[in-house]
Chain A
């Protein structure tokens, strides 16, 4: 049965997790993400799942990785300080190709910063936070409904590509209340047990699109050795061979980069005839869409692109935007993170402008409109 709820974003996320098949949560309380843990502490036992409050965020993601190898869809939620603590184990999940979901409800930072205020200051940490070369997937909701939908999508992507998927939320979306619709059924991606016998099975051999599609749960007799060391297709450490390392890490990156078009998601509005296009993601989209309406009311040719997947960055989609528009305005709640990606892609095809914002308040539509007028010299 389809359900209608009036809930805050964090609660929608918890419902999305249950709906996606998540049956394990390991976490540590942190503002402004705590309600996700609290709601899952209620919901998981009602669905046969496990909720574990760990001693810190390092162990929280550790437990989630362990639970994933036990055969469960597993997740954790946190905010900046906890997300920083998780970085080493995020790299472990990357090199061991462990499916899991991390929700980062971003707050003012660095350090303890502004626990109760919104920000988008972790975007580059999502990309580069753990040491070494890897390609993350991050998806960013801009409404409570999207927080539900994207949580389901995050689990599906993590299973399809065998990566930790980060939900790049923020305090505004986490704490805002809106009506959501929970469909009777959502599409979920089940994990695949190998078809070969343990003797013939290679757990880290890519079978399709650079992805090793089959993951035997622990206890199934496959005797899988999972290590954070550089390893071969059997999973055996091979840490001093330049060739083995290059082969593994290149494949881990290719797994995302060469499947980029299947992963990325963007939405455009009023872009066809626009000479100015605003690029944004997450909560600021709400102001952007209002600003574009105001601009159109005044007869200005302005559109916007909503980036649902900041990582991998939707390069082709932004290239197209740069072809259409003379000017691109990036709106994000930090002093400049994703704007560098837009600049990298736009090159000389469009001039990239930026409206930074920190402190916790959303951009006002009027602020965005006045930037548009400044560009148009009116």
Chain B
């Protein structure tokens, strides 16, 4: 509670939503890494998960649909001292914002993106998303979707991110540990959290209660190492319907805002300008 804007409570999330568990894991990860909330700035787009930063007592930009990562890019390059965290969802990050997601991963810009993947558009009332499993029902797929979903974590690894992990809301400790690593990683970090939307996904897909939903996560979650072994043994079919969890990559490489700062240091011999809008005189 000490991290929340008490004057904004109660929040808008439905009973049984995974957002609370995830935010709690975020604060645990942040504390265990010894990071003060003062160092953090949050950015989000549009959707249920994007409403999280508005409840947290830190500077935050609640932006347009899909564009959070591009706003975060300007914020981070403008002031590299900020620890910039993006809260986003599957529709926000992977559909309308898919291009920004892969380009930020390609640049390896030091952002921590927490993508709450509930496989549905919750805010607008239950339309299918780019991560909805094949066959699942949404208001825009009343007969079950035939679209193939994105494997988001694999996509972001392929695009060049330096830290990627996926967990579900039934693994809050592993999740907070990954968030800790993500906050500490000097590069693009992507933490995908498979979360429950009992209101709009569960009700339509025979998982009526939050308990049914998290039970399904428990039954279907399989560790990445085990999954890799199944694939190596040619038993890929056993992974159908499973949620592969764990770390997908943890490999440091050159970071974008550092490169921008170093270039300016090299070209003008001075530190990269920050907060220069407040100066009344500038050297030309």
A and B interact physically = yes
Q: Is the beta-carbon distance between B282 and A188 smaller than 8 angstroms?
A: yes
Nearest B residue to A48 via CB reads B273
B71 at the interface (CB under 8 A from A): yes
Q: Is the beta-carbon distance between A58 and B274 smaller than 8 angstroms?
A: no
How far apart are the CA atoms of A237 and B38 in the complex, in Å?
22
Q: Is the beta-carbon distance between B279 and A190 smaller than 8 angstroms?
A: yes
Q: Is the beta-carbon distance between B267 and A62 smaller than 8 angstroms?
A: no
Cβ–Cβ < 8 Å partners of A70 in chain B: 74-79, 82, 274-275
A370 at the interface (CB under 8 A from B): no
State which of B58, B72, B78 has its C-beta within 8 Å of the C-beta of A50. B78
Chain A residues in contact with chain B, CB under 8 A? 18-19, 21, 23-24, 26, 44-52, 54-56, 58-60, 62-74, 88-89, 92, 99, 159, 182, 185, 188, 190-193, 217-219, 221-229, 236-237
From B59-67, B117-125, B244-252, give the one contacting chain A: B59-67
Min C-beta distance of B269 to chain A, whole Å: 9
CB within 8 Å of A: which B267-284 residues = 267-268, 270-284
Please judge, given known A-B contacts A55-B100, A188-B280, whether A71 and B274 are in contact too, CB under 8 Å.
yes
Q: A52-B260, A54-B73 are in contact. List 14 more A-B contacts (CB 8 A).
A: A18-B284, A45-B267, A49-B276, A62-B70, A63-B74, A66-B72, A67-B78, A69-B61, A69-B75, A72-B275, A73-B277, A188-B281, A217-B275, A221-B38
B158 at the interface (CB under 8 A from A): no
Cβ–Cβ < 8 Å partners of B43 in chain A: 66
B152 at the interface (CB under 8 A from A): no
B266 at the interface (CB under 8 A from A): yes
State which of A44, A47, A219, A224 has its C-beta within 8 Å of the C-beta of B82. A219
Q: Is the beta-carbon distance between A65 and B60 smaller than 8 angstroms?
A: no
How far apart are the CA atoms of A193 and B73 in the complex, in Å?
23
Please judge, given known A-B contacts A62-B63, A219-B79, whether A23 and B273 are in contact too, CB under 8 Å.
yes
Min C-beta distance of B150 to chain A, whole Å: 18
Please judge, given known A-B contacts A63-B71, A66-B75, A71-B78, whether A47 and B283 are in contact too, CB under 8 Å.
yes
CB within 8 Å of A: which B65-120 residues = 67, 69-79, 81-82, 99-100, 103
Contact size class for B? 35 or more
How far apart are the CA atoms of A25 and B104 in the complex, in Å?
17
Q: Is the beta-carbon distance between A218 and B75 smaller than 8 angstroms?
A: yes
Nearest B residue to A15 via CB reads B284
Contact with A along B19-38 (1 / 0, CB 8 A): 00000000000000000001
B205 at the interface (CB under 8 A from A): no
Q: Is the beta-carbon distance between A46 and B267 smaller than 8 angstroms?
A: yes
Please judge, given known A-B contacts A49-B273, A227-B54, whether A59 and B260 are in contact too, CB under 8 Å.
no
Q: Is the beta-carbon distance between B64 and A71 smaller than 8 angstroms?
A: no
Min C-beta distance of A357 to chain B, whole Å: 36
Most B-side CB within 10 Å, residue of A21, A59, A60, A192? A59
State which of A19, A63, A69 has its C-beta within 8 Å of the C-beta of B73. A63
State which of B59, B71, B276 has its C-beta within 8 Å of the C-beta of A23. B276
Q: Is the beta-carbon distance between A66 and B267 smaller than 8 angstroms?
A: no
24 contacts between A and B (CB under 8 A): A21-B277, A45-B264, A48-B276, A49-B264, A50-B272, A52-B74, A54-B73, A59-B99, A62-B73, A63-B70, A63-B71, A65-B74, A66-B70, A66-B71, A68-B277, A69-B59, A71-B79, A71-B275, A71-B276, A71-B277, A72-B78, A193-B278, A219-B59, A222-B59
How far apart are the CA atoms of A255 and B78 in the complex, in Å?
27
Min C-beta distance of B13 to chain A, whole Å: 14
Cβ–Cβ < 8 Å partners of B58 in chain A: 223
How far apart are the CA atoms of A315 and B74 in the complex, in Å?
37
Cβ–Cβ < 8 Å partners of A50 in chain B: 77-78, 260-261, 264, 272
Min C-beta distance of B255 to chain A, whole Å: 14
